[in-house]
Structure 1
C-alpha cells in the first residue's frame, strides 16, 4: 500500500519534542486520559441511572449497547482510517463522544440512556482504532513503543480516581452531573486534537483506488451489532414481544462466525481456541462487573462510592496481575497461565454467588470483582501473546481484530444468558437475590470451559517468551477490556 504517513518523513527524525509532535502527542494523551476516565467513571453510576429511570429490568440492554456498538465502531473506524488516514474518523469519533455524553446526561427514559450508550460505544470503537492507526501512520517505528506506553499510562489515574469520584458526585449531586462533567472536560482536548490534525503535515493522502484495502464486512458487522442489541432487549422480559426480539437477535448473531477464524466454536487448536477463550473470559468478567454493582445498589443498598472503590481496586489488581505474568512468570507456558487465571475467576464466581445468600456480608459480592480482576490480569495478556504466536505471517492485524470481535460477542452473549436466567427466576416467583445467585452460578460454565480448553491454545512457537516480555499490562473498563 502506498505510504500515507501523517507526518513528513523529515519530521519523523525530530523526535517527540518537535512542535507538531508535542501538540499531537499531548492532545492524544489528553483524549486517552479522558476516554479512560469516561469509560471507568460511567460504569459505576449506570445502575443508579437505571434505577432512577425505572429501567432496572432493561439494565442489560444499557450495559450491552456500548459493547454491541463498539464492535461496529471498530470495524468502521479501522476501514475509514485505512482508506483515508486516521484524522477524519478520529475527529468524528471525538465529536460524537461529546454529543453522546450530553444525550445520556439528559435522559428522561431508559431508552434514551440506552441510545446514548449505543452511540458512545460507536464513538469509542472509532476513537480507539483511529488513535492506534494514527500512531502507526504518524510516528517512526523507533518512537512507537514510547507513544504506546504513554497511551497506556493515561489509564492509570482514571482507574484510580474515576470510579470513586463518579460515585461521590452521584451521591452528593446527581448521576447526570457525571455525564455533563465528562462532556465539558472532553470538549476542549477534542477541539485541540481536531485542530492539530488539520495541520498540513498531518493530512493523510488517500491511497490510490487500486491500492486501497478491500471493503470490510460493514453490513455483516452492522447486523451482528443489531442482533446483539436486540438480544439484550429480548432477555429483559418474557412476553411475546420480547421473545420475538430475542429470536431476531439470535438470528442476526448467527452471522457472527463469519467474522471469526474457522473452527472457533468447536475449539479448533491454535488461534480459533484462543479467540474462543477470550470471548468466554471477557463475557464472565463483564457480567460480574455489570451485575454485582446492580445487585449491591438495588438489593443491598450499598453506597455508590463503595462500588466506585471496588472498580478502582479491580483496575489496580488487574494491572498488578498483568505485571506479574509479564515479569515474574514470563517463562511459564502461556496456556497454563490461562488455566490458572480461569481458576481464579471461578473463585470470583463463587464469591459472587455467596454474596447473594442471606446473612452473608454484601462486601463478599464486592470482593468478587477484585478476585475476577486478578484472574483477568493473568489470563488476558497470556491470550494476547498466544494469538500473536498463532498468527500467520503478516496477519497479526487479523488475529487482533478477531480477538476484539469475540471479546465483544462474549460479553454480550454471556450477559444475555445470565439476564435470561435472572428474569426466568423472577418470572417463577423467586426472590431478587435468588435470581442473582442463579445468574452468577451460570458463570461457572465459561470459566470451567476455559480450564478445559486451555491446552488447545498451547503454542509451539519459540518466540512466545520474547513476545510475552514485550506485552503490555491490560486495563479495565467497558470500552478497553
Structure 2
C-alpha cells in the first residue's frame, strides 16, 4: 500500500525527472535557437533566400510525422524506445545538415532532425503526466521553460559568433555530443517508470493523415520559391493535402475550438504560429534590411526567449485552476499587441528597437499561454490519454510554425510580384497578426474548463 504524501512536495522520481528533463531541454533549446540564427547564412551559402522557408521549416515537417507516432508509441510500450530513437535520429540529422554540400542534402538532414525532435518531447510530457501530481505540474512546465534561459541568452550569440568568424557548419556539429550526453541523466528515470498494462494504449495513430499534412506543409514552403503560375499550383496542392490531413491528425473539434483539449490545442497551435513564425524571419530581416551581423541578431532572438521565460514563471505563480483557465487569453492578447509592433521590422526608416520590443512582448505572452496550456491539457485528460494529449500538444507546436512558414513563403512571393520590391518582408508580420487573433478566439473557449479528479 502506497504511503500518503504531501502532493506539493517532490518525490525522488520527480526530482530525477526534473533534472534529466532540464538537461535535455537545454540541449534542444540551444539547437533550436542557434540554428535559427544561422539560417540566413546557410541559405545564402547553399541556395538563396527564396528557399529560406523550406530550409528553415523542413525540420517541422519531420517533427509532425514523428510526433504522431511518438504519442501512440509511448502509450503502447512506454517512453524509453521513442526517446532513444528520437535522440539517435536527431543526432544523425544534425550531422547530415552540418556536412551538407548543397541545399538538398541540408534539407534532408533537417527533416531527419525533425523526426528525432518529435520523438523526444512527447516522452517527457508523458513522464510528467504519469509521475507528477496535479499540484506540481505547473512548476514542472515553468522549469521546462526556464531550461531555455541559458540557451536563449547565449545560444544565438554563440552561433552568430561562430558563423561570423568561422562557418555555419559547426553550429550543427556541436549539438551531437551534447545531445547524446543529455540522455545519461534520464536513464535512472526510465528504469523507474511504471510498466504499461495491456489495453492502456490508444489505437495506432493516423499515419496517412500525418503524411498528408507534412506533404501539404512542404508543398506550401516549396511553392513560395517558385514562379507565379507554379506557385499557385503548389498552393492548391498544399492546401488540399492540409484540408484532408489536418482534421484527422488533431483532436476532433480543434478547428472549431471546442471546449476542452480541442480548444487548448487550437490556441497552442495559433500562438506558436504567431511567435515562432515571426522568430524564424527575425534574423533574416535584421540581416537583409538593417545590416545586422549574425552576432547582433542573436541578441534580438535572446530578448524574446528571456521574455518567454518570464511569462512562464509568472503563470506558475497562479495556483487556482479557475484563474489558470483565463491565462491563455491574457497571453494571446499580449502576442497580438507585440505582433502589431513587429510590423515595423521590415521598414528601414523605423528603428529595429520598436519591433524587437514587440517581439519581447510576444515572448511574454507566449510564456504565459504556452506553459499554462500544457498544464490545462493534461489536467482535463485522463492519465491513460496523456500520451495522446501530449502528442497533440507537440503537433500543435510543430504545425503552427510550419503553417506560418508556408503561408509566409507564399505571401512573400505574391507580395514580391505585386509590390515591385517595396518592403519585401512585410507579409510575415501580418501572418503573425492573423494567428494571434485566432489564438484569442480559441482562448475564450478555455475559460472555465473543468479538471479531471486527481488519481
TM-score class, shorter-chain normalisation, is 0.7 to 0.9
| 3-state SS of 1:79 partner | helix
For 2:326 and 2:278, how far apart are their aligned partners in 1?
Answer: 23
Q: Which runs of 5+ in 1 are unaligned?
A: 1-13, 468-481
Which position in structure 2 is the counterpart of 1:235?
224
Query: Which residue is 2:83 aligned to?
Result: 90
Paired residues of 1:293 and 1:307 also in contact (CA < 8 A): yes
Residue from 441, 445, 449 that aligns with 1:456: 445
> Mapping of 1:42-53 within 5 angstroms?
42-53=35-46
Does residue 120 (structure 1) correspond to residue 108 (structure 2)? The answer is no
Tell me the matched-pair count. 443
1:302, distance to aligned residue in structure 2 (A): 0.5
The alpha-carbon distance between structure 1 residues 356 and 279, as it changes in their structure 2 partners (threshold 3 A), is same
Question: Which residue matches 2:155?
Answer: 162
* Contact kept? 1:66, 1:119, Cα under 8 Å: yes
Q: Of residues 53, 67, 70 in structure 1, which corresponds to 2:63?
A: 70
Contact 2:68/2:395, CA 8 A, preserved across alignment: no
> How far is 1:123 from its partner?
0.2
TM-score by length of 2: 0.83
Contact 2:75 2:387 in 1 (8 A): no
- CA deviation profile, 1:382-419 (whole Å, cap 9, x unmatched): 44455456547864554443333234222222332222
* Cα distance in 2 for residues equivalent to 1:42 and 1:167: 9
Matched, 1:54 2:43: no
Alpha-carbon distance in structure 2 between the residues aligned to 1:371 and 1:149:
18
Separation in 2 of the partners of 1:389 and 1:25? Answer: 19
How far the C-alpha of 1:269 sits from its partner, in A, is: 4.2
1:180 aligns with 2:177: no
Report how far residue 437 of structure 1 moved: 1.8
- Which one of the candidate residues 205, 214, 220 is aligned to 2:203? 214
Name the CA shift for 1:329/1:369 in 2 (closer, same or farther; >3 Å).
farther
Is 2:370 the counterpart of 1:380?
yes
**What is the CA distance between 1:60 and its match in structure 2?**
1.0
Change (3 A) 1:386 1:52: same
Contact 1:87/1:134, CA 8 A, preserved across alignment? no
Distance 1:60 1:373, change over 3 A: same
Matches within 5 A, 1:126-205: 126-133=119-126, 154-189=147-182, 192=184
Backbone CA RMSD of aligned residues: 3.7
SS at match of 1:374: helix
Offset, 1:288: 0.8
Q: 5+ residue gaps in structure 2?
A: 1-10
CA-to-aligned-CA distance 1:319-373 (integer Å, 9 cap, x gap): 1122223326968844653333233222322222222224212333333321210
Give the distance between the partners of 2:394 and 2:182, measured in 1 at CA.
27
| Residue 207 (structure 1) shift | 5.9
Q: Is the 8 A contact 1:230 1:249 kept in 2?
A: yes
Deviations 1:155-185 (A, max 9, x none): 3322222121111111121111211222243
CA deviation after TM superposition for structure 1 residue 378, in Å: 2.4
**Which residue is equivalent to 2:395?**
405
Checking the alignment, whether the CA contact within 8 Å between 1:48 and 1:297 is kept in structure 2 is no
Higher mean displacement: 382-391 or 111-120: 382-391
The alpha-carbon deviation at position 133 of structure 1 amounts to: 4.4
- Given that 1:232 and 1:416 are in contact with CA atoms closer than 8 Å, whether structure 2 keeps it comes out as yes
Aligned counterparts of 1:326 and 1:288: Cα–Cα separation in 2 = 26
**Aligned position for 1:476:** none
1:457 aligned counterpart, secondary structure? coil
Change in Cα spacing, 1:321 to 1:51, as seen in structure 2 (3 Å) is same
Between 328-337 and 292-301, the greater mean CA deviation after superposition? 328-337
Once residues 266 and 76 of structure 2 are traced to their aligned partners in structure 1, the CA distance between those partners, rounded to angstroms, is 30
Matches within 5 A, 1:171-320: 171-189=164-182, 192=184, 213-254=202-243, 255-320=245-310
Q: Does 1:359 align with 2:349?
A: yes
Give the superposition deviation at 1:216: 1.8
Asked if structure 2 preserves the Cα contact closer than 8 Å seen for 1:68 and 1:412, the reply is yes
Contact 1:87/1:203 (<8 A) preserved: no
